[in-house]
Amino acid sequence: MAREFKQETMKYDIVVLGAGVIGLSTAINIQTCLPNRHVVIIADKFTTETTSNGAAGIFRPTLEKTPAKSLEQFRKWCTDSFDWYHHLNTDHDPSKTGVLRLSGYQFTDGKIKPPFHHNIGYHFRDLTERELKSFPGDQKCGWMMSTLMVECRRYLPWLTDLFLSRGGRIENRTVSSIEEFAGKCSLLVTCCGLNAVKLLNDQEMFPVRGHLIRVKAPWVKHLYVWNSGNNYIYAGQDDVVLGGTRHEGAYDTSHNEQWFNDILTKCEKILPGIKNAEVVSKWTGLRPHRTFVRLEPEIMSFRGKKLQVVHNYGHGANGVALSWGCGKEAAQIVKDLTISKL
């Protein structure tokens, strides 16, 4: 059993920097691995203010967007996450956890290799010619699939409550330098997304701007994906999500109606009735991409003071899909480092 933290020796025990879906998942997994240690989440944005909150949240991980350094590692992250979400969908109330099962269609311009996630979700098969002809437009090929959708507007508050119920603590403030934790905490976990550019001088990080629209369309009950996965329609519990865009390197999050109008036009070609749907909200966010997800330990030094760090950031568009699996791996690293010091 891990030793208990002596509060009088340091200001903090284990600090998780960042309160998006990655940070919350990591913090809760650390609590599971080390139940006698004190975990605090420090962030300047929580729940509705985070990028995670705006995400569509479909479980549809892709190797093309933010890969791991090995296929085996990536698959384990995805499988661990899917198993967790399945548990939240079947053993808990989806109206609280935000995790619902969703089936639907993905269209392609030609016969291509099935996507990475085809053997992780519930169901996956080729669409028949008859099925393809039943949709507007000239759909060439496609798949029928059943997966999970994670609505972070519900999921993040649920995770936050779980973290607090286990004795976790939250600090709402801006961190300007990692150095402030040297000599002040037992271990620091960085789940800071794009802030890694400033806090860690990580030049491999880059934003991929995305736009989506939420509409009232209760007649939509399925998911639809096309244009190499860049455009989609997802039926949620409260509304329907229409997307999206991918603007690599763009930092400007001001609303540009051009992009929203383009999304609506493309979605109306798949489901013409969408043009009659009431627009609920429009969202612009920056996905925190990196060449590879950074999930590893590091010992940093500041003016002679050592700081043990575990990094877990750079998940990009796969953030929701990978969050629990990466959180589990990061927590295990934290546990191994903690036990080795005993």
Residue 251 DSSP symbol: -
Q: Is the pLDDT of residue 309 over 80?
A: yes
DSSP count for the chain of H helices, then E strands: 9, 14
Evaluate the CA torsion angle 3, 4, 10, 11 in order and state its sign. positive
Does the pLDDT at position 285 exceed 90? yes
Q: What amino acid occupies position 234?
A: Y
- pLDDT band of residue 9 (cuts 50, 70, 90) is low
Rounded distance between C-alpha atoms, residue 63 and residue 85, angstroms: 20
Q: Give per-residue pLDDT as tens, 96-112.
A: 999 999 999 999 988 88
- Average pLDDT of 235-245? 96
Contact status, residue 135 vs residue 105, Cβ threshold 8 Å? yes
Buried b (16+ CB within 10 A) or exposed e, 210-223: bbbbbbebeebeeb
Q: What is the value of pTM for the model shown? A: 0.94
d(CA 290, CA 313) in angstroms, rounded, equals: 8
Per-residue model confidence (pLDDT) at position 291: 87
Q: For residue range 66-87, what is the model confidence (pLDDT) as tens digits?
A: 567 788 999 999 999 999 999 9
Q: How many CB atoms lie within 10 A of CB 127?
A: 20
Q: Quick check: 27 and 39 in contact, CB under 8 A? A: yes
In the chain, the domains with their CATH numbers are 14-340 (3.40.50.720)
Q: What percent of the chain has pLDDT over 90?
A: 85
Per-residue confidence band for 3, with pLDDT thresholds at 50, 70 and 90: very low
d(CA 168, CA 37): 10
Q: Output the six-digit token pair for 51.
A: 């990028």
CA 262 – CA 185 distance, rounded (Å): 48
| Residue 6 pLDDT class (50, 70, 90 cuts) | low
Query: Per residue in 190-232, pLDDT tens?
Result: 999 999 999 999 999 999 999 999 999 999 999 999 998 899 9
